[in-house]
Amino acid sequence: MNNDECAELVSLLRNIHSQYRLTVVLIEHHIDVVLSLCDRIYVLNLGKLLAEGTPSEIQSNPEVIRAYLGERRKKT
């Protein structure tokens, strides 16, 4: 998925959420989509729960950084 497609997905899901007042359960591997859209995130690694929390908690979780985000996220 390219950046335009990611932005379109985020916009569509936000509109569905606000227009219909629905909770959306999203299973997504594009971390930028997840971080920009979700209020609560559950991170799985090989089927096991690695971490859960808000986007800022997930971005600062050392285990998640090591497994998925890489060192570039430490500065954010």
The two three-digit tokens of residue 17, written as one number:
């959420």
* pLDDT one-digit tens code per residue, 5-58: 888 988 999 999 899 998 888 898 888 889 989 999 999 988 999 999 999 999
Within 8 A by CB and 6+ apart from 23, the residues are 17
Q: Above 90 in pLDDT, residue 73?
A: no
**Residue-level pLDDT at 2:** 84
- Closest among 44, 37, 42, 43 to 18, alpha carbons compared: 37
**Residue-level pLDDT at 76:** 47
